[in-house]
Each structure stands twice: as structure tokens, then as C-alpha cells.
Amino acid sequence: MKEKARTTILIVENDVLSALNVRETLEAAGYATLSTGTGEDAVRLASDSSVGLVLMDISLDGELDGIDAAEAILRASSRPIVFMSSHDDAATMIRLERVDAYGFMPKPFGNASLLATVSMALRRSAAERSAADRMVADYERRLLQSDTRLKESHHRIRNDIAAISSILSLQLGEAEHPETVEALSDALGRVESLSTLYEMLTVHDSGGDIEVRPYLERLIGAIMPIFPGGSGIDVDCRVDEFMLDQKRTFTLGIIVNELLTNALKYAFDGRSEGSIRLDVCVYDESVIMTMRDDGKGLPERFDIAESSGLGLTLISMLLDQFDGTLTMRSDHGTVSTALIKAPGLEATAPAAPAGLEAAIVAKRARVNVA
């Protein structure tokens, strides 16, 4: 009896005597009841969390009949509904097929039939809730297991990348031949580019678009210490605020790594100081990256189309994925411009302009490695 008392049944019946008989029968059996004679009130009352079952007549007062009211109730919640009506014509039955009802009692019906139908509907509803709860619990358990495995995988991958970087750094420190030093420096820069992107993906658990400005700032900060002469090179990084998908972000990172590495290796030969400026902006659904240095410029008769260097070949292969382009020219140093097409891309804010307070520039737009 206590279990039934906790279940409220909403009686939707516009015939007063019929509603009274149903209510008395249910209350005598230990159920709580609410009642109304209109579809509009039925929709409102059914939103009460205490309602465990709706007994719905089809002919009602107001603008909504029982079928319309039932559809409105089911759109808002999963209340079990049992229809009770003297209407059993074909048109009504066709309309009823649209409703996920728990039963239909043709009028007139006896008290025993009413109680049996209510009991069966409530048991079915309880069983469905229990099954749904088990599914949710199982899903949450599986999700927790997957999350644990994913975190373990991230940890192993980060360790593997760190190990590769450490090995390359050790080899670089022991290398004496210029070509070996150059090859190891290039490889280490590429690993740092991948490591920085992967770290941003895992720390933010984004799995989606990446904030480009902090990614490039961190990447440059990781590359500069690799080169002994980097301490005298001033890097000014001005990047629009925008998000970019992982593939394009990685491509942009590799491009910046390769061009910055080339500048640090060749542009300032014989000099202890120099400057590099990196501008990355969004224009016409494209990412435009320009890197300028005040070094000695490109070799005479340099032709990017005929270059066989691994770095430029890698850039070309990556840009081909996005119908991108790379141009390089000498102009009081070297000016390199890469374009990556990104349909639908828009910047949320432009790069920080020159002349801002030093604190803002240091935080957002400038990377200095001492």
C-alpha cells in the first residue's frame, strides 16, 4: 500500500461521474490522484514529477483532445499514458497509432479491469526506467574505462615523445660534424612542433580546433633554445586570435618550424644579433603567415621550385593538402609567405599592433629567449 501511495495518477476525463468513479476506485486501491477535464490542464499537470501515470479520455473540453494532449505530454516527458474512451472508430484508431501509449481501455470498463490495466502500465514503466538506468550506468562505466585508457595512452605518448626529444638533444650535444648537427637540429625542431601541438590537445581535452596564437608562441619558445646563436635573436610574434583545425595547425607549426630553423641557421651567419618577425593573419577564409628576417637574404639565383631541401619539400607536401602556397624572396633579409586555405575561417581578434604597452606585448605578441 505504501508503494501505491507514492504513485500519483492523473485522470483526464471531462465526464464528472466517470472521473469520480475512476478516482474513488484508484484511491481505494492506495493511489494518489489528480484530475482535470481539459487537454490544456492535462499537459500542465503532467509536468509534475509526482505523476506516474496518465489515464486519458479522448473527448475533452478545451481546444486539445486527448490525443493532442498526449502528444504534447510525450514531447515534454516520458509519462506513461493509458487511453480510456468509447471512441473505437477507424479514424480514431489511426490517430492513436501515432502515440506511444501503454494501453487502451474501451468504455465502459469495470473496476477490476481498471486496476489491472493501471498495475500493468506502472510495472512496464518501472521496468523501462530500470533498464534505462542500467544502460546509463553501463555507459558511464564504459566511459570511465575509456577515459582511463585514453589518459594512460596520452601519458605513454607524451613520455615517448619526450624520450625521442631527449635522445635527439643528447646526440646533438655530442655531434661535431656540421651536417650531423644540422640534421639533428632539424629533427628536434620537428619533434618539438609535434610535441607542442599534442600537449595542447591533451591538456585542453579539446580534440577539436586549436588556439593558434598560444600554440605558435609555445612552439617558438621551444625551438629557440635548440640553436646556440638563438640568444641574440629577437623574435616578434604577431598572430591574430583564431581557432584552427588540428591538421592545419600542425601544418602551420611545421612551416613556422622549418622557416624559423632556416633563419636561425643561415640568415645571421657571422652575426651575434638579429631580428625575426612572424605575422599570422586571417584573410578571405585563409591563413596567411609571413616571416621576415634582417639577415643576409636568399642565395643568389635561389628558386624555390627547384629546391630539394627536406624542409621545403615537407612544407610543399603539407600545403598541397589545403591548396596552399609558399613564396620566398629577398628584401633586406628573407621574406617568406605561406597561405593555407581554410573555408569558413574568421579571426575573433586581430594581432596586437605595435606600440602597445610592453607588458601586453610580452604576454601576447612577443617571444624573447635570453
The verdict on residue 114 lying in a domain is yes
The pLDDT of residue 247 is: 86
Instruction: Say whether both 112 and 248 belong to one domain.
Output: no
Instruction: Say whether both 223 and 328 belong to one domain.
Output: yes
pTM assigned to the model = 0.52
The verdict on residue 104 lying in a domain is yes
Region label for 70, one of left (φ > 0), alpha (ψ between -120 and 50) or beta (otherwise):
alpha
Reported as type and span, the H/E element at residue 236 is strand 233-239
Q: What gap in Å lies between CA 184 and CA 190, rounded to an integer?
A: 10
Instruction: Say whether both 197 and 133 belong to one domain.
Output: no
Q: What gap in Å lies between CA 291 and CA 273, rounded to an integer?
A: 17
Instruction: Say whether both 221 and 121 belong to one domain.
Output: no
Instruction: Say whether both 198 and 123 belong to one domain.
Output: no
The verdict on residue 166 lying in a domain is no
User: How far from the centroid of its chain's Cα atoms is residue 284's Cα?
Assistant: 25
Q: Which amino acid is at 79?
A: R
Instruction: Say whether both 114 and 179 belong to one domain.
Output: no
Instruction: Say whether both 88 and 187 belong to one domain.
Output: no
The pLDDT of residue 362 is: 36
Instruction: Say whether both 134 and 241 belong to one domain.
Output: no
C-alpha Rg value of the chain to the nearest Å: 36
User: How many structural domains does the chain have?
Assistant: 2
Q: What gap in Å lies between CA 131 and CA 55, rounded to an integer?
A: 24
Structural domain span for residue 92: 2-138
Q: What gap in Å lies between CA 65 and CA 38, rounded to an integer?
A: 8
The verdict on residue 132 lying in a domain is yes
The verdict on residue 200 lying in a domain is yes
CATH number at 26 reads 3.40.50.2300
The verdict on residue 145 lying in a domain is no
The verdict on residue 143 lying in a domain is no
The pLDDT of residue 277 is: 95
CB 330 within 8 A of CB 294: no
Instruction: Say whether both 234 and 360 belong to one domain.
Output: yes
CATH number at 344 reads 3.30.565.10
The pLDDT of residue 150 is: 62
Instruction: Say whether both 343 and 286 belong to one domain.
Output: yes
User: How far from the centroid of its chain's Cα atoms is residue 192's Cα?
Assistant: 25
- Judged by DSSP in three states, 324 sits in coil
User: How far from the centroid of its chain's Cα atoms is residue 6's Cα?
Assistant: 42
97: cell is: 497509432
179: cell is: 651536417
The verdict on residue 299 lying in a domain is yes
The pLDDT of residue 93 is: 86
Instruction: Say whether both 62 and 130 belong to one domain.
Output: yes
Instruction: Say whether both 122 and 219 belong to one domain.
Output: no
- Per-residue pLDDT tens, the chain, 370 aa: give them: 444 447 899 999 998 999 999 999 999 999 999 999 999 999 999 988 889 999 999 989 889 999 999 999 998 888 899 999 888 788 888 888 888 889 899 889 999 999 999 999 999 988 988 998 899 888 888 878 877 776 676 667 777 777 887 888 888 888 878 888 777 877 777 777 667 766 666 655 555 788 899 889 888 887 888 777 777 889 999 999 999 988 898 889 889 988 998 898 888 988 888 999 999 999 989 999 999 999 999 988 888 877 767 778 888 888 999 989 999 999 999 999 999 999 988 877 777 544 333 333 333 333 333 2
